[in-house]
Amino acid sequence: MTFRALAIAPRLSHTLRSALTPVLLCMSLLMAACGGGADSTTASAPVAQAQASPSNYTLSITTSGSGTVTSSPSGINCGASCSASYTSGASVTLTASAATGYSFSGWSGACSGTSASCTVSMTAARSVTATFSQTGASSYTLTVSTTGSGTVSSSPTGINCGTTCSSSYATGTSVTLTAAAATGYSFSGWSGACSGTSATCVVSMSTARTVAATFTQNAPTTYTLSVSTSGSGTVTSSPSGINCGATCSSSYTSGTSVTLTASAATGYSFSGWSGACSGTSASCT
């Protein structure tokens, strides 16, 4: 019998190679990842890294108008512009304080509203503006002067003068002025914060005011005094104007007191007055 050798080795070799291939491949990959093996190629894999958040943020403050802004925790204290750093996440309370003659109008930027206090959360850099507005004075002065002879009074009270005077009134007050002429004078009119010829004027005290009142002297009114005599004698007057022994007259301003004096001539005696005078006294007013 003739026996032939079977070709087992190649087939076995192929089978073994097939079985070992995955193992060898895995080892090759492990060696490459670890940098081993003469023919291995090193592969670098990107590694993601988390970026750290800042530990501090800046709070910047500016102001408009006259006033200051302070903070709690401390750091901000300024009347124009300033800044401070705070730990991330800190809550900062800002307080606005207006200067004299100003009032706080409100916030803008990271704050809003008109409350004097505002809280800012420092999760990022922040900017805040505080606005202050100028306010009016609490009172104003009213000054009154006069020309001629007369007085000016006020309601509410405060003004009562015949030359120059002044008084302070709360802002927004309506003051009524009244002009009163002296005897022999007439009120001519107002100038300044008042106008017209009415004896009264209303002034609104939204600012300091000046008013002038003018009084004009009236044209004098005159009356005639006529004197006549009977018999022999003279009549004279004080003030002068009458000096006659028969009939004469003179003009005098209204309201003037005129004293007449009778003087008898030689051989005569004064008997008495009649008309606007009476009695037997030598003098009559």
Closest to 181 in 3D by CA, of 162, 158, 207, 155: 162
Give mean pLDDT in consecutive 10-residue pieces for the chain, a chain of 285 residues: 41 42 40 42 47 82 95 94 96 95 93 96 96 84 96 97 93 95 95 97 94 94 91 93 91 91 92 94 94
pLDDT at 253: 84
Contact 215, 150 (CB under 8 A): yes
pLDDT at 30: 36
Tokens of 100: 């004299």
Domains of the chain by start residue, with CATH: 56-134 (3.10.20), 139-217 (no CATH), 221-258 (no CATH)
What is the pTM assigned to this prediction? 0.43
pLDDT at 245: 82
pLDDT at 26: 35
Residue with tokens 């006294």: 281
Closest to 142 in 3D by CA, of 192, 220, 205: 205
